[in-house]
A and B are shown apart, each in its own frame.
Chain A
Amino acid sequence: MSEVVVENLTKKFGNNTVLDGIDLKIVAREYFVLLGPSGSGKTTLLRLIAGLEDITSGSIFIGGKKVNDLSPRERNIAMVFQNYALYPHYNVYDNIALPLRVRHMSPASVREKVREVAETLHIQDLLEKKPKQISGGQQQRVALARALVRDPSVFLLDEPLSNLDAKLRVEARAFLKRLQKELGITTIFVTHDQAEATTMATKIAVLNKGTITQVDDPYRLYTMPNDVFTAGFIGSPGMNLVRGTAKKIGTEWQFKNDDMVVDLGGVNLDGECQVVMGIRPEHVSLAKDGEGLDCTVSNIEPLGSITFVTVNVGKTSVVIQLSGKIDLEAGSPARLVFDKDSILLFGDPDGKRLRTGPDQV
């Protein structure tokens, strides 16, 4: 039940900088997710917190104690690996009991603790089996049990759901979230799957190329991304991003490029500038004749309750989220409108979100 603080952390493998000046504060009992595409350094960050890699520079504190020079053994952390990393030569009971045995706990209390955690995770019937004799989902629970059995102060999970099939993964998500709430252990979860991140996390840190782009709760991350990368990475499909110029026409601002002109309303910019306009697919809709922008439908992806329609405005393609039955086919003409209050503007080329209104701080 400890907080984890990371200060100005840098990790290099040879000349390759994998993490560059990471600052993080993970509050006790928080369900914290490190989210990023592969190669963003998220797993390396987790391994540094675990002590499996050496720090190049910076510091890590667990429960207020600097752990830079402590081995994983001395940090009182627990970790679940992507491949579970169970001990194949031990049965499930011994797998779970090993962390207690090496701490010289009495056999009677080992038995009691193992039974207790096995019941919590519903694996009490598997205790005699070897890891290879149980399914992937069961192996994952055993890995969780082994991690939880000794009351760690921090719980680290490295993409533990990625080897499960889709249905099991959704179940495991809910299960993990409930378990974390019950046990109240500070949890750091690494994933590249943003749906996994937003469904489970109390807070998410988005990583890109070794730096943190934003640390926020899932809702703010979705509605107020700090930069173009986060805007495109969060959400499925990501935010529509269109490059152009913002110009003041009279009292109103306008977004303009070769393909379109869009009213932005009363935004608050210093002067004409290059921008990237961002808008979520659910804030774009189709309009009646005579309104909006001319476009051509290029692709339709029905998902049941909602449908994603990709349209081309000149050379720019925009994804629209529609609900209900759609009477469109690829190639047919349509007209689209943007909900101008939901438009975000990002600087170009730095990609940072511009302060465009009083609520968008």
Chain B
Amino acid sequence: MKKPSAMAVTVLVLLALVCLFYLFPVYWTLVTSFKFGNEIFTYPPVIFPLRIDLANFFQPSTTAHATNQTAIGSIPWLIDSTVVAISATLVSTFLIAAPAAYSLVRYIRNIWLGRLILFMTMIPEVVFIVPFFLIVAEVNLLNSWWGLALVYVSFAAPFATWLMMGFFNEVPKSVEEAAEIDGLTPYQIFYRISLRLVTPGLIAALILCFISCWNELLYALILTYSPYPTGAETVPLFITSFLITDKSFAWGGLAAAGIFTMLPTIIMGIFAQRYLARGLTLGAVKG
């Protein structure tokens, strides 16, 4: 076997350190969620627990004065998150991003308009908090799924549009021209040809939008104040409720709830990666 070069070894070590830095909190959450009782507080901390305990998922913390939340109690928040994230994602990608990106790429072709959309995704949310609160309050949608979803569309749609523009740009012009000559109307070309060719991109946009809506905290904090069925508080707020308390933190329950929250986005992240990496034109056009 060839001896790896010093450069390759250095790169590997650096990569391992970076991975450790980002993955350790995930590991900590996972391990903590399975620890029992006071094992969480031992010093030095237990990195590899020998016993797995699921109590954190189903029972309130045994620590005196801790909050009464349990991970399993997060279901109403999970329902809110699911409804809000899915509806905001569907509206952003299918109703707005796909047609908008297509017309920007094929018909408007103004590079600054495309960049403007990208810039919109870069403005910090906090700037819009007061205006959005006033707007949502005015239309009587505070603490509701649709109020929150509407606000989520404001950042998910430009992001998805920008992403889809890149994918539509990859669709060979001659395929669309062939369709035009074959007698398809511009609308038919969009949904029968181009949209089908960017399916991997569309799926990637769906997943990335879903993840960003699912993880969103700030707007949810301002625009909602109770969970399903009376309101629309989302899962990040449930997690925060473990921390925002006048009692001691229930670390076990917090970690268990964190695992619940993470799972859908991790699964989707794996899918998104597959579709983002996939070739678009599928080898149909030579040359």
Contacts and interface: CB of A to CB of B under 8 A. Distances in A.
A316 interface: no
Contacts of B278: none
Contacts of A71: 180
Given A89-B197, A132-B284, A99 B182 contact: yes
B282 A89 contact: yes
Interface string B204-216: 0000000000000
A85 B174 contact: yes
B177 A81 contact: yes
A288 to B, nearest CB: 52
B283 to A, nearest CB: 4
Interface stretch (B36-44, B183-191, B255-263): B183-191
Given A83-B172, A83-B174, A102-B188, A88 B284 contact: yes
Contacts of B30: none
Given A132-B283, A139-B286, A85 B178 contact: yes
Interface string B192-222: 1100110100000000000000000000000
A22 B247 CA distance: 87
Interface stretch (A72-80, A212-220, A250-258, A332-340): A72-80
Nearest to A50: B181
Contacts of A88: 175, 197, 281-285
B284 A86 contact: yes
B143 to A, nearest CB: 43
A129 to B, nearest CB: 12
What's the dominant secondary structure at chain A's contact region? loop
Contact of A84 (B181, B183, B184, B286): B286
B88 to A, nearest CB: 28
A263 to B, nearest CB: 51
B287 interface: yes
A52 B180 contact: yes
B179 interface: yes
B185 A85 contact: no
A103 to B, nearest CB: 6
Given A85-B172, A88-B281, A89-B282, A72 B287 contact: no
Nearest to B192: A98
Nearest to A74: B183
Given A79-B178, A89-B197, A103 B286 contact: no
Interface in B231-287: 281-287
Contacts of A146: 178, 182
Interface residues of B, number: 25
The residue among B181, B197, B281, B282 with the most chain A CB atoms within 10 A of its own CB is B181
A87 B193 contact: yes
A82 interface: yes
B278 to A, nearest CB: 13
B181 A131 contact: no
A102 B285 contact: no
Interface in B143-178: 172, 174-175, 177-178
A48 B93 CA distance: 36
A102 B181 contact: no
Given A83-B172, A85-B172, A88-B197, A72 B282 contact: no
A297 B197 CA distance: 58
A83 B287 CA distance: 6
Contacts of B184: 73, 98, 102
B174 A102 contact: no
A188 to B, nearest CB: 13
Contact of B181 (A79, A82, A87): A79
Contact of B177 (A52, A78, A87, A98): A52
Contacts of B179: 87, 98
Interface in A91-148: 98-99, 102-103, 130-132, 136, 139, 146
A83 B286 contact: yes
Contacts of B197: 88-89
Interface of B: 172, 174-175, 177-185, 188, 192-193, 196-197, 199, 281-287
Interface of A: 50-52, 71-73, 77-79, 81-89, 98-99, 102-103, 130-132, 136, 139, 146, 150, 163
29 contacts: A50-B181, A73-B181, A73-B183, A73-B185, A78-B181, A79-B178, A83-B172, A83-B286, A84-B284, A84-B285, A85-B174, A85-B175, A85-B177, A85-B285, A86-B175, A86-B284, A88-B175, A88-B197, A88-B281, A88-B285, A89-B193, A98-B182, A99-B182, A102-B184, A130-B282, A132-B284, A150-B183, A163-B286, A163-B287
